[in-house]
């Protein structure tokens, strides 16, 4: 009996021992080695390190098609449906800059934000993706010593890209938020970082230093490097010209009145920064002109800077004419889903409901259209008064205008629908009926063409829901293109040397030469800057600024320009205006349609549709409350 008890006890103990013995606690819960990537691998070889770096390209923001109804012109240039409260532009117009973080439609500052994928809805997040990219650039720079399997050239390529993007993403942010905490180290994850915010000039110096090093490390032409040809198309890769151009832009912005005032209290241009900017921009232009890596696209193919149609969704920005490839875009926004992204839903926003039955509508303001001067290069002094010097006549407001006007803007009488059958041969639908009381101006009042003009810079004039131009288009905005660099140079050289003829010693062109060079785009032929604007820098300033407004119209620069020139809250830049007029009696409609440029109108006048009420705080975006509530050295922008 007793042995039985012992036996069964032994059995139980054995069972328990077996159960216990199979366990070894810590190991049992360890992460399976199969579930892991060894972190050293990422930096080991050029191929892997470039893969690590390559995600930075994916962080470049997408601006124009982040979802539905993207908004990127927040200056006096466009006006969205005045009762459409969901568009970020509405928030801006009403002074609610917080909406960069909360707007339902159109803010490319805080939408989505996955750095890895190529979904457009995840690319409209300048705020988040920039900081992500900066961290990644810092991690890359901190681990460069682990790159063992690479040539010296390959190492320079990686280092150059990392410096470029670290500087560039800071630069993108500071255009909107001003001085930043400049992050140039790997912030350790186990402590909450407390980096002090720098003022604008201090931040710009850090950006300049990074871009300068990038310019030293990066090649002029990637295709000329050993690995370049294997990397696929290199159009998006930062090269020496790109780095220098952004370096110059960064310095010019630092020297602009707003930024100079922020850092020094002086509301004028900072000439020293402008001179440095002119030197960087001059060097970039000099290399570009020598290598012909970037050239102005002939005006005959002007649209190709912005969009392609029926080209199998080719990325715009360059074009091959007569066997020669012209590339004007230096850096473009993110190409995510370019295969159709503009179709949904942006194209619908530019035409009234009569011919495009969907969308939230946006039209160019009349006051901005007025910047498009005469073909002879003279500005329109007052759009309601005839001017014998320029030849402008309010009875023929669209006669002899700058050719870019006819490209970018649609006005009364132009053909909007190719096939009249689609609109029941209703002439007022087929041809833009933009006169006062016209169908386009009255049907569906909130969505009608309230300004009297329609945009055709980024889409065909025949964009409507039937003719097919809505589809098969690929639109991509240039963040920097060659004509912009010339105009930045013109500004920097003239402001730096306080003369329209100012020039950087390293470049052959003077400021006014640079403006005229843009007007001399092959096939464009707008008259040169008139002598009366060369008498003083103040006079020339008006003209180079007008040139910027026209050449870079609706490309997202105006808001930054008005801010850095301290004009945003000054009249007339606070106005959004429309035109009112009647077609001249006795002129048959058919004559208008045949030659809308020369159609006579009467009662041509302008009305104020909206005035923005801005104050000093509207020069900068507010930082997130959570960010500026952590420690005193990261302070909010004034007024927020």
Q: Which one of residues 3, 20, 322, 388 is an interface residue with other proteins (CB under 8 A)? A: 20
* Nearest residue (CB) to other proteins, 72 versus 97: 97
* Nearest residue (CB) to other proteins, 148 versus 535: 148
Of 224-243, which residues contact other proteins (CB under 8 A)? 230-237
525 forms part of the interface with other proteins (CB under 8 A)? no
**Stretches 94-102, 207-215, 299-307, 518-526: which one binds other proteins (CB under 8 A)?**
94-102
* Nearest residue (CB) to other proteins, 300 versus 358: 358
* Nearest residue (CB) to other proteins, 345 versus 395: 345
Q: CA-CA distance, 319 to 588, in Å (whole number)? A: 40
Identify whether the C-beta of residue 474 lies closer than 8 Å to the C-beta of residue 342. Answer: yes
* Nearest residue (CB) to other proteins, 398 versus 614: 614
Of 276-305, which residues contact other proteins (CB under 8 A)? none
The residues, any chain, with a CB within 8 Å of residue 575's CB and separated by 6 or more, are 76, 365, 367, 608, 610, 611, 612
* Nearest residue (CB) to other proteins, 81 versus 543: 81
For residue 591, give the 3-state DSSP assignment.
helix
Of 344-373, which residues contact other proteins (CB under 8 A)? 357-358
143 forms part of the interface with other proteins (CB under 8 A)? no
Q: Which residue has the tokens 């639109």?
A: 475
Of 307-336, which residues contact other proteins (CB under 8 A)? 312-315, 318, 335-336
**Stretches 184-192, 530-538, 551-559, 573-581: which one binds other proteins (CB under 8 A)?**
184-192
Minimum distance from residue 30 beta carbon to other proteins (Å)? 8
Q: Provide the CA 375 distance to its chain's centre, in angstroms.
A: 27
* Nearest residue (CB) to other proteins, 102 versus 264: 102
Identify whether the C-beta of residue 283 lies closer than 8 Å to the C-beta of residue 245. Answer: no
629 forms part of the interface with other proteins (CB under 8 A)? yes
* Nearest residue (CB) to other proteins, 16 versus 616: 16
189 forms part of the interface with other proteins (CB under 8 A)? yes
Q: CA-CA distance, 99 to 86, in Å (whole number)? A: 10
Query: How many CA within 13 A on the CB side of residue 42?
Result: 16
Of 573-602, which residues contact other proteins (CB under 8 A)? none
Q: Is 454 buried (19+), middle (13-18) or exposed (0-12) by CB count in 10 A?
A: buried
Of 99-128, which residues contact other proteins (CB under 8 A)? 99, 115-118, 127-128
Identify whether the C-beta of residue 606 lies closer than 8 Å to the C-beta of residue 623. Answer: no
Identify whether the C-beta of residue 66 lies closer than 8 Å to the C-beta of residue 120. Answer: yes
Q: CA-CA distance, 378 to 539, in Å (whole number)? A: 13
30 forms part of the interface with other proteins (CB under 8 A)? yes
Element (H, E) at 531: none
523 forms part of the interface with other proteins (CB under 8 A)? no
What is the number of residues in the chain?
Answer: 640
Q: Which residue has the tokens 């007569």?
A: 322
Question: Taking the CB of residue 26, how many other CB atoms lie within 10 A of it?
Answer: 6
* Nearest residue (CB) to other proteins, 447 versus 503: 447
**Stretches 90-98, 297-305, 514-522, 533-541: which one binds other proteins (CB under 8 A)?**
90-98
Kindly state the number of chain residues that form the binding site for other proteins, as judged by CB under 8 A.
Answer: 112
571 forms part of the interface with other proteins (CB under 8 A)? no
**Stretches 370-378, 543-551, 582-590, 630-638: which one binds other proteins (CB under 8 A)?**
630-638
Tell me the DSSP string of 252-310: HHHHSHHHHHHHHS--S--HHHHHHHHHHHHHHHHHHHHH-SS-PPPGGGGGGGTEEES
Element (H, E) at 62: none
* Nearest residue (CB) to other proteins, 9 versus 532: 9
Q: CA-CA distance, 487 to 512, in Å (whole number)? A: 9
* Nearest residue (CB) to other proteins, 183 versus 285: 183
Minimum distance from residue 47 beta carbon to other proteins (Å)? 6
Of 408-447, which residues contact other proteins (CB under 8 A)? 422, 443-447
Q: Is 61 buried (19+), middle (13-18) or exposed (0-12) by CB count in 10 A?
A: buried
Q: Which one of residues 17, 47, 226, 310 is an interface residue with other proteins (CB under 8 A)? A: 47
């Amino acid at each position: 009996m007793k042995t039985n008890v012992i036996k069964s006890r032994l059995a139980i103990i054995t069972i328990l021992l077996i159960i216990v013995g199979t366990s070894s606690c810590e190991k049992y819960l360890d992460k399976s080695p199969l579930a892991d990537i060894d972190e050293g691998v990422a930096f080991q070889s050029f191929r892997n390190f470039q893969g690590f770096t390559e995600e930075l390209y994916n962080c470049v923001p997408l601006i124009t098609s982040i979802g539905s109804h993207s908004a990127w012109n927040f200056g006096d240039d466009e006006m969205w449906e005045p009762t459409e409260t969901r568009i970020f532009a509405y928030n801006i117009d009403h002074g609610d800059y917080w909406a960069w973080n909360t707007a339902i439609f159109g803010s490319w500052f805080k939408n989505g934000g996955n750095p890895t994928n190529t979904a457009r809805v995840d690319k409209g997040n300048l705020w988040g993706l920039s900081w992500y990219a900066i961290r990644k650039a810092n991690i890359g720079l901190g681990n460069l010593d682990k790159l063992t399997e690479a040539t010296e050239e390959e190492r320079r390529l990686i280092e150059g890209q990392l410096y470029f993007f670290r500087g560039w993403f800071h630069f993108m942010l500071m255009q909107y938020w001003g001085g930043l905490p400049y992050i140039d180290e790997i912030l350790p994850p186990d402590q909450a970082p407390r980096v002090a915010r720098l003022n604008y000039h201090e931040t710009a110096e850090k950006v300049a230093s990074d871009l300068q090093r990038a310019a030293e490390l990066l090649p002029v032409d990637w295709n000329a490097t050993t690995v370049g040809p294997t990397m696929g198309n290199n159009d998006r890769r930062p090269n020496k010209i790109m780095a220098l151009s952004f370096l110059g832009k960064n310095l010019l912005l630092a020297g602009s009145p707003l930024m100079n005032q922020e850092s020094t209290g002086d509301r004028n241009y900072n000439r020293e920064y402008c001179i440095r900017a002119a030197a960087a921009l001059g060097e970039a232009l000099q290399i570009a002109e020598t290598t012909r890596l970037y050239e102005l696209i002939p005006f005959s193919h002007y649209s190709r800077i912005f969009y392609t149609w029926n080209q199998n969704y080719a990325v715009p920005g360059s074009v091959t004419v007569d066997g020669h490839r012209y590339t004007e875009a230096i850096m473009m926004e993110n190409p995510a889903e370019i295969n159709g992204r503009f179709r949904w839903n942006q194209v619908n926003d530019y035409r009234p409901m009569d011919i495009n039955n969907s969308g939230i509508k946006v039209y160019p303001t009349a006051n901005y259209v007025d910047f498009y001067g005469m073909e002879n290069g003279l500005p329109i002094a007052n759009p309601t008064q005839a001017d014998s010097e320029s030849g402008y006549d309010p009875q023929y407001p669209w006669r002899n205008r700058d050719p870019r006007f006819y490209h970018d803007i649609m006005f009364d009488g132009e053909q909007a629908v190719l096939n009249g059958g689609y609109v029941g041969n209703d002439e007022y639908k087929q041809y833009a009926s933009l006169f006062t009381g016209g169908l386009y101006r009255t049907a569906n009042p909130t969505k009608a063409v309230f300004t009297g003009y329609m945009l055709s810079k980024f889409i065909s004039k025949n964009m409507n829901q039937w003719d097919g131009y809505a589809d098969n288009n690929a639109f991509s905005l240039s963040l920097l293109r060659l004509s912009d660099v010339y105009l930045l140079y013109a500004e920097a050289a003239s402001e730096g040397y306080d003369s329209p003829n100012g020039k950087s010693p390293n470049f052959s062109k003077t400021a006014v030469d640079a403006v005229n060079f843009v007007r001399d785009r092959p096939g464009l032929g707008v008259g040169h800057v008139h002598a009366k604007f060369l008498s003083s820098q103040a006079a020339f300033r008006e003209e180079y600024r007008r040139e910027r407004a026209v050449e870079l119209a609706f490309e997202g620069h105006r808001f930054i320009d008005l801010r850095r020139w301290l004009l945003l809250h000054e009249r007339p830049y606070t106005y959004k205006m429309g035109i009112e007029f009647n077609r001249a009696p006795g002129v048959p409609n058919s004559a208008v349609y045949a030659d809308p440029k020369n159609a006579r109108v009467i009662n041509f006048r302008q009305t104020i549709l909206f005035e923005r009420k801005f104050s000093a705080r509207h020069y900068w975006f507010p930082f997130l409350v959570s960010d500026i509530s952590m420690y005193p050295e990261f302070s909010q922008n004034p007024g927020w």
